[in-house]
Amino acid sequence: MSALLEVAGVSVAFDGFKAINNLSFEIEEAELRAIIGPNGAGKTTFMDIVTGKTRPDKGRVTWGPSNISLLRKSEAQIARLGIGRKFQRPTVFEDQSVFDNLVMALKKPRGPMSAILYRRDEADTDRIHALAEEIGLTKELARRSGELSHGQKQWLEIGMLLAQDPQLLLVDEPAAGMTVGERQHTTRLLRDVAKTRAVIVVEHDMEFVRALDCRVTVLHEGSVLAEGTLDHVTQDQRVIDVYLGRSGER
Ligand SMILES: Nc1ncnc2c1ncn2[C@@H]1O[C@H](COP(=O)(O)OP(=O)(O)OP(=O)(O)O)[C@@H](O)[C@H]1O
């Protein structure tokens, strides 16, 4: 089976400093993957490259069964191809209800006329209820989003991304600032989402990564240092030396 996303030999330097250094990475359809690594390892830059925010100096980034190159695509084009990104801080429309946030996120034909002519139909309403069910916010649909807890806002934002029907979701430190209960809910949600699409989670919290129970890629100095199960990578002496050994806690 060919990969959904393939990054091959990618490098990018900022003022001569190689933030990404000959990085190769693949993810399959419907796969959950955690990316870990020390500060400055290149995790954010990797996501910036995949989403078109940063252009690499060399290498290949290809997408989908026909291996479309993402390198000349704009951020908007890449999003439309089916790559969604969730930043660390939730960015929902706080004055709008949960329901209306999900309505606004639905994938609809674009352009001024389609926006004017758009009327919500029954299929959209059903879809919003299905999304709310998936993210666990059915009871909150009528609430103003600003009133939600931090965790609930994060789930709403994931729901808004799912409304766009992405094939790959990039999620940056989803567990940060969450209560234990919220983290468990987030684990279930991401595992569930990854049954039908690929999900890449960048995370520092090893307990959370263990709960995700997925393949782990360790980045270091812009390259893959180790890959495999969490047990496999955490027993790797190089990973211990550059990452795990540093805080003692992880
Ligand atoms: N636009 C930029 N200009 C200059 N240097 C940059 C830029 N973006 C990233 N860097 C540098 O590239 C390196 C990789 O940064 P990146 O943010 O990708 O690491 P990270 O693994 O996400 O770190 P963290 O875990 O702290 O978020 C860092 O040394 C950073 O300072």
On the question of pLDDT at 248 being above 50, the answer is no
The residue extents of the domains of the chain are: 5-247
Length of the chain: 250
Strands 168-172 and 223-228: unpaired
> Which of 10, 15, 39 most suits a substitution to test ligand 1, by most atoms within 8 Å of the C-beta?
39
Residue 123: predicted pLDDT: 84
The answer, yes or no, to whether residue 79 has pLDDT greater than 70, is: yes
Q: What's the pTM value of the predicted model, to 2 decimals?
A: 0.91
Q: Tell which CATH classification among 3.40.50.300, 3.40.1160.10, 1.20.1090.10, 3.20.20.140 matches the domain 5-247.
A: 3.40.50.300
Give residue-wise pLDDT tens across range 140-153: 999 999 999 999 99
Q: Give, for ligand 1, the residue of 39, 45, 89 to mutate: max count of ligand atoms closer than 8 Å to Cβ.
A: 45
The residues lining ligand 1, judged by C-beta closer than 6 Å to any ligand atom, are: 14, 19, 37, 39-45
**What digits encode the pLDDT tens for the residues 152-186?**
999 999 999 999 999 999 999 999 999 999 999 99
Nearest to 197 by CA among 170, 166, 172: 166
Each residue's pLDDT tens digit, 190-213: 999 999 999 999 999 999 999 999
Does the complex come out with an ipTM higher than 0.90? yes
Condensed to tens digits (0 to 9), the pLDDT of residues 105-118 reads: 986 655 555 555 55
User: From the CA of 42, how far away is ligand 1's center (Å)?
Assistant: 6
Distance set, CA 130 to CA 133, 135, 221 (Å): 5, 9, 41
Closest listed residue to residue 69, CA positions, set 45, 52, 46: 52
Give the number of the atom of ligand 1 that is nearest the alpha carbon of residue 20.
Answer: 14
Question: To test ligand 1's pocket by mutation, which of 43, 50, 54 has the most ligand atoms within 8 angstroms of CB?
Answer: 43
CA distances, 142 to each of 32, 56, 96, 107 (Å):
31, 43, 9, 21
Residue whose CA lies nearest to ligand 1 atom number 25: 39
